[in-house]
Amino acid sequence: MWVSDRWTDYELIDCGRGEKLERWGDQLLVRPDPQAIWNTPRTHRGWKHPHGRYARSSSGGGQWEKKDMPERWTIRYGGLTFNIKPMNFKHTGLFPEQAANWDFAQEQIRRAGRPIRVLNLFAYTGGATVACAAAGASVCHVDAARGMVSWARENARSSGLEDAPIRWIVDDCAKFVEREIRRGRQYDAIIMDPPSYGRGPTGEVWRLEENLYPFVELVRGVLSDQPLFVILNSYTTGLAPSVVTYILETLLSRKFGGRTDSQELGLPVTESGLVLPCGATGRWSRS
């Protein structure tokens, strides 16, 4: 498991009974988590006195129960600054477990010894985008949600990267990649975090189990002749890391060589000393 254990502004304090208690800067939040199904004593005061709790509704969805939680605040990771804004469906605009992937990408970029062009697909609020830009890469950030791209630009500005070579694209990821192939544009590294389910711009249905392999096959078409790395992340329940390995090995290693390693991402739990699993990630690299 790849554990994101270098945070100071974020902490997973405790988890269990389908919830987790987290510290985001100086804010204590309680949010649902489908992996934390064990039953353990709740001794930390934050369980009873959080600044905000996301409560599930019996009819579906849910809402935030706020005490003195601000509408937004910032937290830092290394030299990066992220804007936190609790939103619908329990999210805060950042997945802290992804820091392990940011560290990997930054190390690969800094060791490359050449200019690196990164394509970040389904890029959300830009955690990987700002990490790669901070390491010296030029980045193309693509997401279909205009609000998420705007949020990502805020994160870049907050991180002092407003003048970094980042292209901000609001578009369907597959349609964008198809156009990039026709344009002859290529990238040395690709990061992608496709959803489990979604709809395209003309109503076409995306199902990960049906569309992931052909999508990665399509994306392979914009890799340069000397690709550096590819990161494929998924939060889809039931998608084993070994499946991600087989996809990347079949589509990338057979063409470019290199190696693939896939693991669960995880966050250390302060109270128990355990690690909470948070999805699967595959990394292909030349080295």
Query: How far apart, in whole angstroms, are the C-alpha atoms of residue 98 and residue 166?
Result: 20
Distance CA 156, CA 258 (A): 31
In Å, the largest CA–CA distance within the chain is: 58
Return the pLDDT at 242.
95
Classify domain 2-84 at the CATH topology level: Immunoglobulin-like (2.60.40)
Residue 27 to residues 21, 51, 54, 79, 263, Cα–Cα distance (Å): 10, 6, 14, 20, 30
Q: Return the number of other C-beta atoms located less than 10 Å from residue 51's C-beta.
A: 18
Fold of the 96-285 domain? Rossmann fold (3.40.50)
| Residue spans of the chain under pLDDT 50 | none
CB-based contact 115:90 (threshold 8 Å): no
In angstroms, the CA 267 to CA 7 distance is: 10
Domain boundaries, the chain: 2-84, 96-285
pLDDT value at residue 89: 84
Each residue of 74-121: pLDDT tens digit?
A: 999 999 999 999 998 899 999 999 999 999 999 999 999 999 999 999
pTM of the predicted model as reported, rounded to 2 decimal places: 0.95
Tokens 């820091």 label which residue? 99
